[in-house]
Amino acid sequence: MSEALAGQAAALDAADELAACRALFALDDDVVYLDGNSLGALPRHVPARMQDVIAREWGQLRIRSWEESGWWTAPERIGDRIAPLVGADRGTVVVGDSTSVNVFKALVGAVRLAGDDRDEILVDASTFPTDGYVAESAARMTGRRIRALAPQEIVGALGPRTAAVLVNHVDYRSGRLNDLPAMTAAIHAAGALAVWDLCHSAGALPVGVGAHGVDFAVGCTYKYLNGGPGSPAYLYVRGDHQARFDTPLPGWNSHEDPFGMRSAYAPGDGAVRGRVGTPDILSMLALESALDVWDGVSIDAVRAKSLALTDFFLECVEAYVPAGRVSSVTPAAHAERGSQVSLSCEKAGEVMRALIERGVVGDYRRPDVLRFGFTPLYVGFADAERAAGELAALLD
């Protein structure tokens, strides 16, 4: 491997203002973990917090913990901690359910807000498959037709019939970053509502849902937010929409008087309207504890390091990997890149399995895409250089 690139990696790591964050995570020194875009690493302090939750809050206080330990208010409280990471105001984010369930709530809610004269839903054709499945179901349920389009085709397809548009902020396969500000503005100019899936962007780059007027947004918390496997997702509803948000999944938790047990549904105020049933407290409190690693961290600093890491990794791949063995499917332009690098490679599954055996953990998407997720809180430049070197050794 190149001594120059290794030296450059060491210098970049020495100057990294986020380097101290790595110590907050349970990571093996001999493993390069580049799969945080699928499952974030475990923050070291979370097991102790969960031991207390299980042994004391559940084991001793039991039912009293809904009030005394703050279990009942956790969905809104944790939502307020996620809000600054996506550029949202307090009181606009609620945590609970899965991403899929929240996509359904958001999309149906958006269509209902748009009005009966708009009968079309546009959806990102390259979206994660579940988003497409949910969108098709939402269209059937609301009597709308659905059109699946490439993200670059959506703006040109907007019109007076468009009710809502569902788009991924970052493409899960290629790592392409879609232009949220411009697309949201175009959607609004057409009189429609914008629903964004933030699963591959929240915690990796600035989102600005409030600044850009996003109507609804959803996202998972087990990737760049490190909430743990299956940790609950979140739903953002713009403040001025909340009073008219007609959720397709009304539940006792979102009722204005949850313990009144009334047969008629009357929605509560604010973000609570996004709740449905009893919160999944154990995973929710693990997420709340995991979010401590963000205290004092600037999302702009995270973005700066993300771009530097992915630039450096691509530089190392170009220098080390034999010509023609891989090609990047992730855009080179910073404005079009999330926080992962996807490389097209023959026999990608076999290559990734061999990389993992060598201590470089990424993942792949069939048929030929290697995915490397760069989580700036715990991935360093030496990791990027080693990953490229191991890939080159395999393909040489």
For residues 154 and 184, is the Cβ–Cβ distance under 8 A? Answer: no
- Local structure of 119: helix, strand or coil: coil
d(CA 221, CA 172): 15
Annotated binding-site residue? 99: yes
What 3 state SS string does 218-272 have?
EECCCCCCCCCCCCCCEEEECHHHHHHCCCCCCCHHHECCHHHCCCCCCECCHHH
Is position 184 annotated in a ligand binding site?
Answer: no
Name the residue among 360, 358, 391 with its Cα closest to residue 373: 360
3-state secondary structure of 384: helix
The answer on whether 248 is annotated among ligand-binding residues is no
**129 marked ligand binding residue:** yes
* Separation between Cα atoms, residue 326 and residue 372, nearest integer Å: 13
317's CB contacts (< 8 A; 6+ apart) are: 326, 328, 341, 343, 388, 391, 392
131 annotated as a binding-site residue: yes
Catalytic residues: 128, 197, 222-223, 371
To the question of whether residue 117 is assigned a binding role by annotation, the answer is no
* Residue 197 is labelled as binding a ligand: yes
334 assigned binding-site residue: no
Torsion, Cα 139 86 124 143, to 10 degrees, reads 10
Q: Is 100 part of any known ligand binding site?
A: yes
**What are the residues facing 120 on neighbouring strands?**
145, 162
Q: Concatenate the DSSP letters of all residues of 23-85 into one string.
A: GGB---TT-EE-BTTTSPPPBTTHHHHHHHIIIIIIIIIGGGHHHHT--TTHHHHHHHHHHHH
CA distance linking residue 347 with residue 367, whole number of Å = 8
Backbone phi and psi for residue 287, each to the nearest 5 degrees, phi listed first:
-60, -45
Tell me the CA distances in angstroms from 222 to 44, 217, 225, one per residue in order. 15, 16, 6
Between the CA of residue 323 and those of 1, 343, 389, 396, what are the distances in Å?
15, 13, 14, 10
**Residues forming the annotated binding site?**
99-100, 128-131, 197, 200, 222, 252, 278
**Residues forming the annotated binding site for pyridoxal 5'-phosphate?**
99-100, 128-131, 197, 200, 222, 252, 278
